[in-house]
Structure 1
Amino acid sequence: MRHSHPRRLALLATAPVLALALAGCGGSSGTTSSGTTGGAAGGSSKPAAHVTKDAALAAKVPSAISSDGKITVGTDATYAPNEFLAQDGKTVIGFDVDLFDAVAAKLGLKATYVPTPFGSIIPGISSGKYEIGVSSFTINSDREKQANMVSYFSAGTLWGTKRGNPAKVDPNDACGAKVAVQKATVQADDVTARSAKCTSAGKPAIQIDQYQGQDQATAAVVSGKDQAMLADSPVIAYATIQTKGQLQLLGKVYDSAPYGMVVAKKDTAFSGAVRDAVASLIADGTYKKVLDSWHVGFGAIAKPQVNPPAAQ
């Protein structure tokens, strides 16, 4: 959720590439659950089901995590198609879930996903409430100061609006517009900075509505309460499909940056194990299968890293 860096453009400029046949998007009031549903088509076969334990990587997992064979994952399950609730209202699904299920399997673990507000995840990892965070965290220098970030995907920011753009919102000059965004994301910082430029130029400020969940931001644009929104590129593209044509993409993707799985700062060996598990999944083709099953292969990376160079 969640970027700040120059990006390759046009990867998501054509929404038909993302003709996602996903399960329905749930709300943000889910309970602790683990991903058990299939990929984008809702099938029963998941790539992680065929992943076997790597003993060398599993040996790097702290005993506090490995002793019960489970790993508790903090995630904001409002960010379809990355992580969201299935139609049962409690099972967390998404491409992040399928990918981390495979990572956990490599480490000899079973993942349990705990839906929680996005801004609470990193503090929860620092306090020991969660053993890892998997929630579309864009890697930046501030987050790397708080935790170890293991890169696994690349995404950018994209705007969306009502079909036909009735308010004629221009992302490059949104002064005076009513814009929805999720709290604690880099998109919230982005639109706030844009608003400051508006007022500095003597133009009306952007009227920013910040929501706890991305699903709420999307609903605000669909209802007409807000005129536009911005979020991670896969999320905006998915929303245009999930709302059955009520929304459209606005402008092009920008600010490319990697997503990172979040590990406690003290767990350096574990961070390396997670990185190596992702690398192993890339090498054996499981990584590609997961991303392709959710139609997000455009964001694939070649080499995961722990705390890669990040945007300031």
Structure 2
Amino acid sequence: MRSRPLHRRRTLTTVLLLAAGSVALTACGGAAASGGNRVGAAAPGRKPTINIGPDQHRIHGVKDPRSAALVPARVRRAGFLRIGVGAESSPPLSFYATDDKTLIGFEEDLATLVADTLGLEPRFDPLSWENLFVGLDSGKLDAVFANVTVTEERKEKYDFATYRRDQLAMEAKKGSGWKVRGAADVAGKTIAVGTGTNQEKILVDWSRENEKAGREPVDIKYFQKPSDTYPALQSGRIDGFFGPNPTAAYHVHTAGQTEITGTFSGGGDRVQGKIAATTRKDSGLVKAYAAALQKVIDDGRYGKVLARWGLTGERLRTSRINPPGLPGTGG
């Protein structure tokens, strides 16, 4: 995920959502989204709808004394968690509601659950990708919930408590007939990707593999905003867009102009990537986050939030602290 501050500026994806009102969403793993305070239950045979308005009726947690006891005294005294989320509109992970100012999405819902479980108030700060880490480094933020992948390099500076599998997707124009399983399938193709991400590294590796095998390399294009990427995809200037599976699945089912042609682990063939709550190393908060996440996993609230945003296929059974990460910086 790459991002820049938007404040109230709408991206193409947000405009599509506003036009749709209450939109349909299918889970990334193929199952329909279900449960969790949806607005309007689906009729038989129809896709369920989700609420993209400012009044979210979020699923809330209950304070767990054991988890709360792990919170450092300075944070308990403050009574709130300063949580960084991405400023770029990336539904269903984090985006603006129909009032164009209220932050909603899976990341906000899960962070709220964690804060509730720790007996703290969540205070969200939407920041560009780079500034999320600046915020952690400076002590401005207590946590980041922004589709951050655990990597070995990041573990040198940050602590992680995992909460979702990292899945990637190749998105192409609807009806392309293109199936992507590996390097050979992208030879000679023009593909958009965000810089400094897991998917960029995989794409670069595939391109090198193709060249070694005597095939054409990948023509990699760098796009940072959906409002630039999707018009390029529709016009044929690029063949595909390689990005996070949740945002790709959401766009496919709201815009109806594209299709997913392949899904992959965020670690490629090396290791299953994990998305995690991120905090400054040795801040004293990671054990509290992991305990709170495990609590909501066990009591079922986590599953309801995943289902609400169509992410059931990326669920974890255990929140782990600083598990083996991907090589490189990741995305």
**TM-score, normalised to structure 1's length?**
0.80
Any idea what SS the aligned residue of 2:153 has? helix
Structure 2 counterpart of 1:306: 321
Unaligned runs of 5+ in 2: 3-26, 40-48
CA distance in 2, matches of 1:128, 1:220: 39
Residue of structure 1 aligned with 2:71, choices 42, 54, 61: 61
Letter in 1 for 2:196: A
Q: 1:41-60 alignment to 2 at 5 Å?
A: 41-42=51-52, 44-48=56-60, 51-60=61-70
Structure 2 counterpart of 1:163: 174
**Per-residue deviation at 1:127?**
2.1
Unaligned runs of 5+ in 1: 3-10, 24-38
Tell me, yes or no, if the aligned pair for 1:122 and 1:262 is still in contact at 8 Å: no
Larger relative strand fraction? 1
CA distance in 2, matches of 1:159, 1:130: 32
Amino-acid identity (%): 24
CA distance in 2, matches of 1:215, 1:120: 22
Structure 2 counterpart of 1:148: 159
Question: How many residues are paired up?
Answer: 283
CA distance in 2, matches of 1:171, 1:303: 29
Structure 2 counterpart of 1:297: 312
Any idea what SS the aligned residue of 2:146 has? strand
CA RMSD between the two structures: 2.9
Give yes or no for the alignment of 1:250 onto 2:269. Answer: no
Structure 2 counterpart of 1:6: none
Tell me, yes or no, if the aligned pair for 2:28 and 2:311 is still in contact at 8 Å: no
CA distance in 1, matches of 2:295, 2:236: 45
Structure 2 counterpart of 1:225: 237
Q: 1:104 to 1:193 in 2, by over 3 A?
A: same
Letter in 1 for 2:85: T
CA distance in 2, matches of 1:94, 1:86: 9
Q: 1:89-238 alignment to 2 at 5 Å?
A: 89-165=100-176, 168=178, 170=180, 172=182, 173=184, 174-213=186-225, 216-238=228-250
CA deviation string 1:196-244 (max 9, x = no partner): 223334444322222334564345324443220111222211111121x
Q: 1:110 to 1:297 in 2, by over 3 A?
A: same
Tell me, yes or no, if the aligned pair for 1:188 and 1:210 is still in contact at 8 Å: no
**Per-residue deviation at 1:187?**
0.8
CA distance in 2, matches of 1:208, 1:186: 14
Letter in 1 for 2:167: G
Tell me, yes or no, if the aligned pair for 1:122 and 1:146 is still in contact at 8 Å: no
Letter in 1 for 2:77: S
Range that drifts further, 225-234 or 145-154 = 225-234
